[in-house]
Amino acid sequence: MKTSTLFLVIAGIISVSFFTHCGKTNSTSDIPVYSYLDPPAVPPDVFQVVFNISTYGDKETYLTFSTDAVWLVEKLGDGRINFGVSNDTASMAIVKADTLGFKAGYPYRFIANNNNYDEFNNFFTQFTKLPIDYATFEPKF
């Protein structure tokens, strides 16, 4: 009886932890994590941005890259959260991950939107600078 009770307690803790942290990721300690409210002024080569999506509506941040470069932009959280990027002339949804060329000195608007689900708190995204030549890469955004 004690073993089954212990099992039920552990299963309950795991399920509560899973649903509480759904949409989160355990970021590696050497990858810096920034709030969408306070993005990095000079983004490092690999970093994460966390969006608080506990309430409905768009949560946005602006990132300005210091050099022309090609970046891998990934959704680390639940795939149901809408995530995208826009500039003055175009908008693009990022379904899971995308590789894009970003121009230095231009503020790109990244938007996370949770209008449909109330079980999420935080949504993580990751940006990784790739060793690809920006001049010959397409699509530039």
What mean pLDDT, rounded, does the chain reach?
Answer: 82
pLDDT tens per residue, range 86-100? 998 899 999 999 999
Mean pLDDT of 59-83: 93
**Per DSSP, which regions of the chain are E strands?**
33-35, 46-52, 58-64, 69-75, 82-86, 91-93, 97-102, 107-113, 122-130
Domain boundaries, given as residue ranges, for the chain: 2-130
Give the SS3 label for residue 16: helix
Predicted pLDDT at 3: 42
What are the CA-CA distances from residue 88 to residues 18, 60, 69, 138 (Å)?
A: 38, 15, 19, 18
Which class in CATH covers the domain with range 2-130?
A: mainly beta
Poorest-pLDDT segment among 16-30, 60-74, 92-106: 16-30
pTM here is 0.77
What are the CA-CA distances from residue 133 to residues 55, 71, 73, 116 (Å)?
A: 39, 11, 17, 39
Q: Give residue 33's pLDDT band: very low, low, confident or very high (50, 70, 90).
A: very high
131: which residues sit within 8 A by CB, 6+ positions away? Answer: none
